Chain A
Amino acid sequence: MSSFLTIFLIVFPLATAFALLVFQGARTRIFTVVGSSVLIAAGSLGLLALNAQQNIIRLNLEAPWVAIAMLAVELALAAYIFYVGIRTKRYIASVLVAIQALLMVVFEWRFGHALHVEHTIFIDTFSVIMTLIIGVIGSLIAVYALGYMDSFHKHHRKECADRRPLFFFVLFVFLSAMFGIVLSNNLLWLYFFWEITTICSFILIGYKQTPESQDNAFRALIYNLLGGLFFAAGIVMLYFSAQTVEMDKLMFMHKTSVLLPVAFLCFAGIIKSAQMPFSSWLLGAMVAPTPVSALLHSSTMVKAGVYLVVRFAGVLENTMVGLGIALIGATTFLLTSIIAITQSDAKKILAYSTIANLGLIIMCAGIGTYEAAWAAVLLIIFHAVAKCLLFLCVGVVEHKIHSRNVEDMSGLIITMPKLSIMLQIGMAGMFLAPFGMLISKWAVLKALVDYNPLLSIFLVFGSSATLFFWVKWMGRLICIVDEREDLEDGIRRSEWLALTSLSVMTIGVCAFFPAIAAILIEPFIQEMYHTTVSMGQGNLIIMAIMLAMVMLFPLSFLNYGKKVKVVDAYLAGANTPKGTAFYDSFGAAKDMHMKSFYLERYLQETKIFRIGIAVCIALMIAATLVAMT
Chain B
Amino acid sequence: MTTLFLALIYFLAAPLVGAFLAGVDRKLTSRLQGRVGPPLWQPVFDVMKLLEKENLVVRRSQNFYIVYYLILVIFTGGLFFTGKDMLLVIFALTLASIFFVLAGYKASSPYSFIGAQRELLQIVAYEPAVLLAAIGFYMATGTFNVAAIAQTPRMLVLVLPGIFLSFLYILAIKMRKSPFDLSTSHHAHQELVKGITTEFSGQTLAMIEIAHWYETVFVLGMVYLFFAKSIAIGLIATVMVYFLIIFVDNAFARVKWELALASSWIVAFIFGAGNIVWLFVLGRSS
Contact = CB atoms under 8 A, between A and B. Distances in A.
Contacts of A538: 84-85
Interface stretch (B118-126, B210-218, B239-247): B118-126
Interface stretch (B24-32, B34-42, B103-111): B103-111
A574 to B, nearest CB: 15
A528 interface: no
Interface residues of A, number: 60
A449 B88 CA distance: 16
A464 B109 CA distance: 26
Contacts of B101: 471, 475
A434 B94 CA distance: 11
Interface string A201-230: 000000000000000000000000000000
Interface string A552-581: 010011011101111111111000000000
Nearest to A424: B102
- Interface residue tally of chain B, by bracket? 35 or more
A565 B204 CA distance: 13
Interface string A529-553: 0000000101100110110011001
Interface string A461-496: 101110110011011101111000000000000000
Interface stretch (A247-255, A318-326, A589-597, A619-627): A589-597
Interface stretch (B12-20, B53-61, B171-179, B221-229): B53-61
Interface stretch (B44-52, B68-76, B150-158, B230-238): B68-76
Nearest to B105: A475
B124 A464 contact: yes
Interface in B85-119: 85, 87-88, 91-92, 94-95, 98, 101-102, 104-114, 116-117
Contacts, number: 170
Contacts of B208: none
Nearest to B123: A467
A392 to B, nearest CB: 23
Contacts of A109: none
B11 interface: no
Given A434-B91, A457-B273, A472 B117 contact: yes
Nearest to A601: B258
A449 B121 contact: no
Nearest to A481: B108
A565 B98 contact: no
Taking chain B's interface residues, is the majority helix, strand, or loop, or is none over half, making it mixed?
helix
B193 interface: yes
Contacts of A567: 56-58
B280 interface: yes
B110 A593 contact: yes
Interface in A590-629: 592-594, 596-597, 602
Given A453-B135, A475-B105, A572-B193, A542 B121 contact: no
B276 interface: yes
A445 B87 contact: yes
Interface string A487-530: 00000000000000000000000000000000000000000000
Contacts of B106: 475, 478-479
A454 interface: yes
A433 B64 contact: no
B94 A570 contact: no
A569 B109 contact: yes
Given A475-B101, A478-B102, A457 B276 contact: yes
Contacts of B124: 464-465, 467-468
Contacts of B88: 433, 442, 539, 542-543
Nearest to B202: A564
A564 B56 CA distance: 6
A32 interface: no
Contacts of B269: 457, 461
Give the 6 A-B CB pairs with smallest separation, nearest first.
Answer: A475-B105, A569-B109, A433-B91, A556-B64, A464-B127, A561-B60
Given A464-B128, A592-B109, 20 more contacts: A442-B88, A442-B91, A445-B131, A456-B135, A461-B269, A467-B120, A467-B124, A468-B124, A471-B102, A474-B102, A475-B106, A479-B106, A479-B113, A543-B88, A561-B60, A566-B60, A568-B58, A570-B109, A592-B110, A602-B262
21 contacts: A433-B94, A433-B95, A453-B280, A461-B128, A463-B131, A467-B127, A471-B120, A471-B123, A474-B105, A479-B106, A542-B85, A546-B75, A549-B68, A549-B71, A556-B67, A560-B61, A565-B55, A566-B56, A572-B111, A594-B108, A602-B258
